[in-house]
Structure 1
Amino acid sequence: MDYVIFSSVYKDFRDAILDNIPDMTAMSKRVSAAIPPICNILNIGFIKIKLIAPSSIIARNGLNQEQVMYEDPNGFESMPIIQTYRTGENGMATIEIRAKKSHKFTPPELQAAKLISDDIFIILGRSRLMSAIHYASQTDTMTGAPNTAQLVHHSIELKAKNKLQNFSGLFLNLKNYKYINQSKSPAIGDMGITCFTRSVMAMCHDDEMIARLGGDNFFVLVKKENRDIFVKALSSMNVSVTVPHGPTIPLTIQSRIGVYDIQPQDSMNEIMHCSSVALNESRLHPGNDIVYFTKKMLEDAYHEKEISSLFREALRRKEFIVYYQPKVSVKDQKLCGCEALVRWNRNGQVIPPSEFLPILEKEASICLLDFYVFRKVCEDIRYWLDAGIEPVRVSSNFSRHHLGNPHLTEDILAIMKEYNIDSKFIEIELTESSNFEDKIAMQKFVNGLRQHGISVSIDDFGTGYSTFAAIKDLNVNVIKLDKSLLDHIGDEKYHDEVVIKNMVNMINELHLEVVAEGVENSKQLDFLQNAKCSIIQGFLFDKPLTKEDFEKRLSNEVTYTHIS
């Protein structure tokens, strides 16, 4: 063997195959194309590689394949040299090398042939590793579906071909999937998601794609003419989970879907943003699980971002003003309490609470505002006491987001202590809702307040699913009927009067205070008096008042005896 010639040819061989090719098949072809000069010098007549590997990230069903890398047209010897290697995933690679026909390897040729075998294994192994890395970066490992990175790459390719505007984007969230995990098991839940994903993948054709974004969120890129077919199928899909050595488990997977028809100028970021805005709308309106994007939704989303970005600075600048809406005793129509309400004075313009409270509630910034208002309430009560004005009990709203604060009761008491406020002047108002998931935290919070003599009220009573559970399980002493219950008073088509009378009667029998809010006319007032509702709050008596105007009510400068 001419070592000088071999050295030169070997270098050309290495240069030809040392490319970053994350595809074993493509790399095998590259090796096959580059290796004949080497085989000619070393008198190699045949090279074959066999790979056996268990299931892995790049081969879910494992591997058992072989490939001929080189075959001399003039034939080869029958006795092979076999080199065996262990792969990274605990598999086995075997490389078989045979001499040309009628030739026996010399020791130098044999040594060089083994070197070539090592090179082939290393190069192909490197290619498989790169393939695994590429796969992991582009694929959801649990389901085998594309991930966000692959989705974006795919969209770029479609846009380059001027095809992307022919598609619609569907942003999916699997509804209440945590209950499947809880009622079945997390393992069955994972298998259910995998079955769902593969069913949708089977529906995709001609550049359509489903990508798992994480958890129970997915994105489907579907041709516009197939959009409605996919929406119908994805809104409720039946899948069967096969459990090893167990029965097949049927699951019904329902989805919320935000739908966006892609425009020519859209990037994937814009597509996902618009469809996610539509999806968020479906979350805000239970029962409306399929929402099609409109420009107004985007305007509302930008408004939310604007409110969020302005909030903390506005809080620092004390742009939030506390108003007080009187509560009036039905018995003598005298002031007996009030509710602290907040308004936002932004550059001389008053922003109504409906424009910012739901946004702050959504992102839990409401907790900062609640304490801001409560501190102002304590400050105003202290001012009235020092001025010789006897306050009434003031109710201050606290969001359920506070339940994550283990020191909530202590924080409230600390502010009261700072201003030396007696507990008889304070009422903490909580929203009655089906979302009181942390029952233990709520009970602990209410009990802590009641132990210190602080009144606790349930707001919007009668609108949630946990209405009677709230009375039974929480040690509250005030119940506020939601204003929506009064909307049909006097209308015989509705049964609201019967419902309210029985609610008020039950609350009275439990020796709790009952407050009706949103009272706007004398017909509602007469009904509530007859139903023995003890306290009224609403525009019939007073709108929310500034601190200065409310002081006039406290000083008895304004009374309510003129209202009959």
Structure 2
Amino acid sequence: MNENFKLIKQAYEKIANAGKFDPEVMRKAVRPLAEAYGASVITIKVPLKFSECQLHYIYGDENVVINGNQVITCEGDPNAGGKTVITWVCGEGHTWSEEDIDDINYICKTACALSEKLRLGAMANSYFYMDTITGVSNINGLSRFAEQLIRRGKSTEYGFAFLNIVGFNYVNKKVGFKAGTKVMKMYASKLKEQLAKDEMVARPGGDNFVIAFKKENIEKIKKIVEGISLRIRVNSSTIKFSLSARTGIYMVTKPDKPFDKIMSYLSNSINYAKNYARENIVYYNKDVEHKVIEYREFCQKFRTGIDKQEFFVVYQPKVFTKNNTLYGAEALVRWNNDGRVIYPGEFVEIFEKEHLISDLDFYVLEHTCIDMRRWLDSGLKPVKVSVNFSNDHLGDEDLVKRITEIVDRYHIEHSLIEIEMTETVDVNEINQLLSYVDGLHKNGFTVAIDDFGIGYSSLLMLQTISVDVLKIDKAFIAEVTNDHLKRENVILRHIINMAEDLGVEIVAEGVETDDQRDNLTSMNCHRIQGYFYDKPLMSDDFCKRLAVKTYQ
């Protein structure tokens, strides 16, 4: 041992300094030892995933004939991610002494421990750079790849695409979370298959992926964005999905552009693609960045607007046409921001995407109750007022409780408040909506379905949920004529008749002309909301209308 200790120490240091499990480094490091001890073959068998192993010849090769040679085998710790096995074979014409055997056993045990340390380190290192769900790189792996491109001066040859899968929530709802995860893996594999060896796909999280691609392959990226078709077997059924993606793309123009800046540009591009663009692909430029900044600032103003009471409620009358009398109203919201009145078309969709709309709904309900309390205290007899609640509330188990608490705070009869919900296509959401409607009914509120007739689930909802009012979408009303055979008229007439048979009240929204009013009344629809009778009124003006409910 003393004579060869220096060789053992040198071999150990070379292998340890490699910092990773590297068979080639091992070959060079052990050669002096193998020759000193007269070995003909040295092998190391390392465990892989799924109980598999890989054999490396680090001295000699498989052509060496072993007949009666001395063989020493050492096994490592089986708990270190699998068992490492090192084997030494004595060379022909050479015999190991007891001291040699002790030395070799010591070398093998030390080498096993070092190999396992390096291999486990490599495994931990790979997990640091790998997305464990899909098997592709994670954001750390992408960062490393990008930094290597920058160091090599190759980054300007590349573009980066941030993909957000459209509607992946539907996949999870359709097949369940476990099968949905499998679909995600399949999608990642398809992405990887379509990329060249010098390109990369990474999953930063959720239903998002980032691709680093050669600029000349941009058409391939466009095809990926259009859609990837997948099939999955669930409960003996084959389900097909075509997954398209909204995509932000940044083409690198400067060789020293850091990775965090690239990701910032991608973030702005994908935000623009999701919130503004009509097409699924958005290329980064300064205009995109400015628009996204404006969008964020607009959302930040929301909380300030709520705190400063910048939002105010107006009331659009609902009129019963048989006697032209006010019988109800819808509470609508406006935003007085820096002296400019902003209408819902400019902010509702944005607030829904940013999940801010729920707070606004409760704000409108409370201010409606405040106004209604004032009307009651002045001796007026109020009419029922409907308040919109977005489907963003679905999943809020305390929704009915919170609505009830606000209304009771101002001592308003529950029968004076109607909650308008929007129809939904999702079966799970329909079940949640059913629960809320039942809870609202038990507490004495009526429920209306807004924009009825424009969704795919209209009839399913009507079959499942016992609502009190259907509000016909103004898109239908705009097409109403005195042609009884016109398709839109036939559909609308059947909706009105069906609602009457079910005991459900029908309200026509967006009525603006004499012809529309006359045609609707001829179909036996006598509850109307729209500019034909009145525009949305400020609280004080609506108060005057409550005093004189009949329209002349």
TM-score relative to the length of structure 1: 0.84
Residue 64 of structure 1 corresponds to 54
Choose from 234, 246, 263 the match for 1:269.
263
Choose from 333, 340, 354 the match for 1:342.
333
Q: Distance in 2 between matches of 1:151 and 1:111?
A: 47
CA distance 1:505–1:281, change in 2 (3 Å): same
Alignment of 1:189-338 (within 5 A): 193-205=184-196, 207-214=198-205, 216-233=207-224, 235-238=226-229, 251-265=240-254, 267-277=261-271, 280-281=274-275, 290-293=280-283, 298-338=289-329
Residue 460 of structure 1 corresponds to 451
CA distance 1:541–1:410, change in 2 (3 Å): same
**Counterpart AA for 1:264:** T
Q: Write the deviation string for residues 316-349 of structure 1: whole angstroms up to 9, x where unpaired.
A: 2222211112222212222221111111222333
> Unaligned 5+ residue runs, structure 1?
none
Residue 55 of structure 1 corresponds to 49
SS in 2 for 1:437: helix
SS in 1 for 2:135: coil
**Farther off after superposition, 170-179 or 547-556:** 170-179
Residue 29 of structure 1 corresponds to 24
Q: Distance in 1 between matches of 2:520 and 2:238?
A: 53
**Farther off after superposition, 450-459 or 256-265:** 256-265
Q: Write the deviation string for residues 339-378 of structure 1: whole angstroms up to 9, x where unpaired.
A: 1111122233322222222222223322222111111111
Contact residue 164 and residue 262 of structure 1 kept, 8 A: no
Contact residue 35 and residue 70 of structure 1 kept, 8 A: no
**Counterpart AA for 2:25:** R
* Structural RMSD (CA): 3.6
Q: Distance in 2 between matches of 1:189 and 1:387?
A: 58
1:527 aligns with 2:519: yes
Per-residue deviation, 1:410: 2.5
Q: Distance in 2 between matches of 1:190 and 1:347?
A: 47
Residue 84 of structure 1 corresponds to 75
Per-residue deviation, 1:173: 4.5
**Farther off after superposition, 7-16 or 313-322:** 7-16
Contact residue 250 and residue 262 of structure 2 kept, 8 A: no
Alignment of 1:387-406 (within 5 A): 387-406=378-397
**Counterpart AA for 1:530:** S
**Number of matched residues?**
540
CA distance 1:513–1:254, change in 2 (3 Å): same
> Unaligned 5+ residue runs, structure 2?
none
Q: Distance in 2 between matches of 1:158 and 1:387?
A: 74
Q: Write the deviation string for residues 152-195 of structure 1: whole angstroms up to 9, x where unpaired.
A: 22122223444334334343345556666677787766555544
SS in 1 for 2:209: strand
TM-score relative to the length of structure 2: 0.85
Per-residue deviation, 1:465: 1.4
Choose from 89, 108, 113 the match for 1:117.
108
Contact residue 236 and residue 252 of structure 1 kept, 8 A: no
Q: Write the deviation string for residues 248-267 of structure 1: whole angstroms up to 9, x where unpaired.
A: 96855432241524142563
Residue 373 of structure 2 corresponds to 382
**Farther off after superposition, 442-451 or 106-115:** 106-115
Q: Distance in 2 between matches of 1:242 and 1:339?
A: 48
Identical amino acids, percent of aligned pairs: 29
Q: Distance in 1 between matches of 2:17 and 2:538?
A: 75
Residue 547 of structure 1 corresponds to 539
**Counterpart AA for 1:158:** L
SS in 2 for 1:305: helix
SS in 1 for 2:49: coil
Q: Write the deviation string for residues 119-151 of structure 1: whole angstroms up to 9, x where unpaired.
A: 222222222111111211222335432222212
Per-residue deviation, 1:78: 3.8
Q: Distance in 2 between matches of 1:46 and 1:248?
A: 58
1:516 aligns with 2:514: no
Q: Distance in 2 between matches of 1:237 and 1:450?
A: 45
